[in-house]
Structures are given as C-alpha cells and as structure tokens.
Amino acid sequence: MPKNRIEYVCGECGHTSTKWLGNCPSCGKWHTFKEFTVEREKKADKSHKGKVEGLEEGGSPKSLDDITLNEEARFASNISELDRVLGGGFVPGSFVLIGGDPGIGKSTLALQIAKSNPELQILYCAGEESGGQIKQRARRLGVDSENLYIYNETDISHILKEARKMEPDLLIVDSIQTVYRTELTSMAGSIQQVKECAALFQQLAKKQEITTLLIGHVTKQGDLAGPRVLEHMVDTVLQFEGDQNYTYRLLRSLKNRFGPAQEVGVFEMNEHGLTDILNPSQLFLSDYDRNVSGNAVVCTIEGSRPLLIEVQALVTPSNYGTPQRTASGFDHRRLSLLLAVLEKRGGYQFSGQDVYLNVAGGIKLSDTAGDLGVICALVSSFLDKPISNSLVFLGEVGLGAEIRAVPKLEQRLGEIEKMGFDGAIIPKANKLKKESALSFQQVDNFNEAIKKAL
C-alpha cells in the first residue's frame, strides 16, 4: 500500500512545500501555509491523472493564418452595464470569474441574464441553493425563461458531462468553492479542489466553446478566495463593490482579455433585483449642498467613464494631544501628504486641528485628479467659508504646490457640462484639443485655485 504524504500549500499563490514555512518564497506573504494530506496513486492509475472523459482529446497544431477570427461573435446579456464592463458582451468560449462580498448581488446578476436575454440557453449549476430556493428568487426577479436549466450538482465530472451534452450558450457555476473532484481527498473549497476544478472548467470553455461564468467567494480582506493563480487562468475578473448602507453597486473589471480593464458599471439594488444606473453622477450628487463649507465636487475617471462625486471635509480644533486624521473613501497617506503641502506651501496650520475627510456615497476616490478638490474642501472647512460658485475641481497637487495635468480632460469637461455646473478649475498644464462651451479657469498652483474658489 502506498503511503500518504504531507504537503503544505500557500493560501495566496498555491506554492507547495514539503515543510511548513512562515514566509512564502513565491508571493512573500506570512503565515499562509496550510497542511494537506495527499494520497499516493497506484502506478496503474497514474495514466489517468488530471484527465476527465471528453476533455483529454487535443487538436493538432494550426498555423496562425489557418485560425479563423470572428470579431462579431459576441453575444449580449442585454444588461447594459454588464455588457459595458465586459467590453460589449460575452465572447464565446470565454472564462469569466465574478467575486464580491456575501449578499452583494452576484447570484442575482447571474440569474438576471436569463431575464434580460431569454433566447440564451443557460445551464445554472447551483451548489449553494436548492432548486426551490432559486425558483423563489427567480419569481421575485421576474425571471421566466424556458431556456434556463437549474442543475443541483457539485461533482465536477457530472457537471462537465451535462455541459458537453447540452452545449449551452452560458454555463454558470455558483460557486466554484462548492465544486469538487472525487479523485482528490481534500474537501470542497480547498486550494487543490478550487485550482483543479477551475483548470477543468477552463478546458471545457476553450475546447468546447462553452462560455463559462464562475461565481467566487471573497476573503475578509475583500480579495477573491482561493489561490491567486485562479485569477490568471480566467479571461475576465469582475469584482462587485458596494457599501451595505447604500443601495448602489459597482461592477469593476479587474482583468479583461477582450476589453478595457478597470471599466465600471453601476447598479442599484432594489426588491426587483439590480437596475442599471445610466447616469451615476446624478446619483452621487443627489444630496450635494453647495452652501455648506467643506463641500467640493471633483470629477474622477472609472475605466472610461467620468463620474462627478462630492468630497466633504470637516476641520475642527483638536481636544487631544495628537490631532486625529480620519479618511473615508480616500487614501489616508495621501491625505497626510496633502495636509503637509498645505502647511508648507500655503501657510495653513493644521497641526492643532482634527481633520475628517469623507467621499460621499461610499465610493472610493483613487484618482489623483481629485487632489485639488480635496485641498479646496479642506481649506473651505478650515476657514469656514463655502465654495462661492458651482465649480468642479480638476488637478493633481504636487509637493511644490503646483497643479499637474490630468488625463482625459475633454471627457471630464463634457460630464461637468452635462450635469449643469457653472464652470471648472483645471490645471494650466493641460492643453485643450478642442473648444469647450463650459466656463473654466486654469491655474498653476493651489493657492491661486483657492483664491478663485473662496
């Protein structure tokens, strides 16, 4: 009888070792190795290792000139925001992974594809819900499609066999952490099971031209659960983001081989499911009050979409020895840098002030083009003077107080004009390629911008 062996696998990257290591030599993470027992296979069984019936056949090599390409082969989900993030719809044979926090709407979005495009033949493999539960949710969402088939199965060999027999337009697996392969001794959701099952689904998508959508869990840190190699295997990685206190959801493409990465779709969650938000700037500015000090509007770019969002600052005298610095939706270290520039280059003393910064709506502002708006909001609250005009601020602030150029200025100005603002303060370093009907003022440094704004 062959003896079992012990191996240790990194939970972040899947690196294996014969002994436990505190630090992973592959990804550099600490305390990520977990112990697994691996059964040694008999010599007679080694020829079948890693094979599943119907997927082991390999085609002959082809010349690049002999490979046909149909650029119009995409099929739409008819959910406009989802198609936008995918780059125009699903590519036949593509392998898509979607992740997000529990209850954020991953399964709802997958089920709504059948409602939006009832002509698609969809095989929905459910490992977390029964058929009755899915039927109840489908009735609430208004899903009524004869081409939607529910399959309550978690054994991957049965799923692959059924998919090859049906040849659906779209295979949905909810979720990859519930699927297992009987040849492996580890339980479903372990690193080996997720990695092996994802590899088999990849072969199914590429060899059988079956578009596959995997739903994945996330860790406490918000990263996709399982080995990081899973993100490299798929063609597209979609991440659902959103605050539980708000009804809107952001669907972001972290990776896309068939379209732009970092593209963003905006949805609103209600009792009837997810609804497309075609004008997200109006949603984020619905409660904007221009008569309150510390409020400023900036224009950020998410993928190819310009968004207007509100930045709120509150500066008050500190009652403690060490002033507090709190930022919500904005990088804390970036806030400290901007405060240091204000003190050094502008003469504003924040050393004895508590500073609170909030990006309204729960969205995260990572675009450096919002620096100028953050600066003006901080000074507005510090002086307790509201920003005088209906202005939008664009510009990256350098360490010498200079305002640096921002990309995609024409798109940003077009969004500002569409939302009905009076004007904008933009960097002088930007050269407009075409004339804009919007009234704007160009500045060299933030002191000049503050004088125009207050």
Residue 430: alpha-carbon gap to chain centroid? 30
Which phi-psi region, left, alpha or beta, contains residue 391 (left: φ > 0; alpha: ψ -120 to 50)? beta
Q: Please classify residue 129 by burial: count the beta carbons closer than 10 Å to its beta carbon, then call 0-12 exposed, 13-18 middle and 19+ buried.
A: middle
CATH of domain 283-453: 3.30.230.10
Same fold across 74-278 and 283-453: no
What's the CA gap between 83 and 168, in Å, rounded?
Answer: 19
Peptide bond into 17 cis (omega under 30): no
The count of other CB atoms within 10 Å of the CB of residue 118 is 16
Who's near 229: CB < 8 A, 6+ residues apart? 13, 14, 195
Closest alpha carbon to 315 in 365, 374, 366, 363: 374
The count of other CB atoms within 10 Å of the CB of residue 199 is 14
Domains of the chain, residue spans: 5-41, 74-278, 283-453
Position 103 scores a pLDDT of 84
Phi, psi dihedrals of residue 302, rounded to the nearest 5°: -115, 105
Position 44 scores a pLDDT of 39
Q: What is the DSSP string of 307-355?
A: EEEEEEEEEEE-SSSS--EEEESB-HHHHHHHHHHIIIII----TTEEE
What's the CA gap between 296 and 245, in Å, rounded?
Answer: 22
Closest alpha carbon to 357 in 373, 346, 344: 373
Q: What is the DSSP letter of 17?
A: E
Q: What is the pTM of this model?
A: 0.79
Q: Are the C-beta atoms of residues 277 and 283 closer than 8 Å to each other?
A: yes
Q: Are the C-beta atoms of residues 298 and 424 closer than 8 Å to each other?
A: no
Rounded-to-10 torsion of CA 425, 286, 110, 264: 0
Q: Are the C-beta atoms of residues 284 and 250 closer than 8 Å to each other?
A: no
Position 235 scores a pLDDT of 94
Per-residue pLDDT of the chain (454 residues; tens, 9 = 90+): 456 678 888 877 777 888 888 888 887 888 888 887 765 544 434 444 445 555 655 567 888 787 776 665 789 999 999 999 998 899 999 999 998 888 888 999 999 999 999 999 999 999 888 889 999 999 999 998 889 999 999 999 999 999 999 999 999 999 898 999 988 877 888 888 888 999 999 999 998 889 999 998 876 565 665 656 788 889 999 998 877 777 888 899 999 998 888 888 999 888 888 999 988 888 888 888 888 999 999 999 988 889 999 999 999 998 877 899 999 999 999 999 999 999 999 999 998 899 999 998 878 899 999 999 999 999 999 999 999 778 999 999 999 999 999 999 999 999 999 898 888 999 999 887 777 778 889 999 999 999 999 8
| CATH superfamily of domain region 74-278 | P-loop containing nucleotide triphosphate hydrolases (3.40.50.300)
Q: What is the DSSP string of 203-264?
A: HHHHHH--EEEEEE-B-TTSSBSS-THHHHHSSEEEEEE--TTSSEEEEEEEEETTS-TT-E
